[in-house]
């Protein structure tokens, strides 16, 4: 009997990349078919209005379903009972709920599939896909873009000692629940990280990514050193009106990175590791999962 893994997708592109990478790794280890639920995790998202964002053209040996009924039932089950368990037997199928975990779980990663497995969670750690990392990254690396605005700034990025700064203050998330994202990365973190980059990177040029220009302006007011170096603001307001993948593609060409606790910026920095041998990456440790930020990325 063919083994099958069903994956519940939710959140923005950064979250979906982690979810897919973890599920694909388990599928490869178990020689199982991977099936993505492209709707259930998004139809009730009335706050952020995320939708399925992965690039279908690059994903291999994957099937898609719009709604998987077991995930609908399990979401209702969690709301009613709120049981903080990891492993469930649900209608004679195995279901893994990783949502509540704050660390990487070896038990999840090494789960032996006998029939069907349903995956529900964020899986925000490289450890969930490290065994088949290169194969998985080949599917997830952003494709080249044709946007002339992005191509022009990309040429500047690759010719300089570029430093990407990913600024996110979780402006779309109500303050009462932003703790679920690990809390807001303070401007103090950016200040320390920028000063460290300046010490280690010769003649840096800063490429600052954010959803709004006003957040970058706050950074300039706080960190006076930024004004001494060439800096470029990458926001829709500044004319960079591309897709999430366009921004991720552009960020991946930066040689060095300073990132907040955003999975989107995490992937921009992570993809750049496959382009450059020598680089400096500094990452906020405010992620809900304590294994998200790589050890060598931590600000010391």
Give tens-digit pLDDT for 251-267: 999 999 999 999 999 99
Cβ atoms 270, 247 nearer than 8 A: no
Question: Is pLDDT above 60 for 150?
Answer: yes
Question: Is pLDDT above 60 for 182?
Answer: no
Level-2 CATH architecture, domain 148-297: 3-Layer(aba) Sandwich (3.40)
Cα separation of 109 and 232, whole Å?
40
pLDDT of residue 179: 41
Express each pLDDT in 17-75 by its tens digit. 999 999 999 999 999 999 999 999 999 887 778 999 999 999 999 999 999 999 999 99
Express each pLDDT in 262-299 by its tens digit. 999 999 999 999 999 999 999 999 999 999 999 999 98
pLDDT of residue 177: 40
For the chain, the structural domain boundaries read: 4-140, 148-297
Q: Confidence band (pLDDT; 50, 70, 90) for 90?
A: confident
Q: What is the pTM of this model?
A: 0.94
- Give a three-class secondary structure readout of 153-219: HHHHHHCCEEEEEECCCCCCCCHHHHHHHCCCCCHHHHHHHHHHHHHHCCCEEEEEECCCHHHHHHH
pLDDT of residue 172: 45
């Amino acid at each position: 009997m063919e083994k099958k893994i069903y994956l519940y997708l939710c959140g923005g592109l950064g979250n979906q990349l982690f979810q897919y990478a973890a599920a694909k790794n388990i599928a490869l280890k178990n020689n199982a078919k991977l099936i993505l639920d492209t709707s259930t995790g998004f139809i009730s998202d009335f706050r952020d209005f995320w939708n399925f964002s992965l690039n279908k053209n690059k994903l291999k040996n994957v099937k898609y379903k719009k709604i998987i009924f077991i995930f609908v039932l399990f979401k209702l089950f969690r709301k009613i009972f709120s049981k903080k368990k990891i492993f469930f037997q649900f209608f004679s199928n195995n279901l893994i709920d990783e949502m509540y975990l704050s660390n990487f779980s070896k038990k999840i990663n090494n789960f032996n599939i006998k029939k069907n497995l349903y995956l529900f969670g964020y899986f925000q750690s490289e450890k969930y896909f490290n065994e088949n990392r290169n194969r998985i990254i080949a599917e997830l690396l952003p494709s080249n873009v044709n946007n002339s605005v992005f191509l022009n700034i990309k040429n500047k990025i690759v010719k300089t000692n570029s430093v990407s700064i990913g600024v996110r203050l979780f402006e779309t998330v109500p303050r009462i629940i932003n703790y679920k994202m690990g809390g807001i990365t303070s401007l103090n973190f950016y200040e320390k990280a920028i000063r460290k980059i300046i010490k280690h990177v010769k003649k840096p040029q800063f490429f600052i990514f954010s959803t709004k220009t006003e957040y970058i302006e706050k950074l300039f007011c706080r960190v006076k050193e930024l004004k001494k170096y060439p800096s470029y603001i990458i926001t829709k307001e500044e004319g960079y009106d591309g897709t999430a993948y366009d921004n991720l593609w552009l960020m991946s060409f930066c040689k060095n990175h300073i990132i907040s606790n955003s999975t989107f910026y995490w992937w921009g920095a992570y993809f750049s590791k496959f382009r450059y041998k020598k680089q400096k990456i500094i990452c906020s440790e405010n992620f809900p999962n304590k294994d998200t930020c790589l050890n060598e990325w931590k600000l010391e």
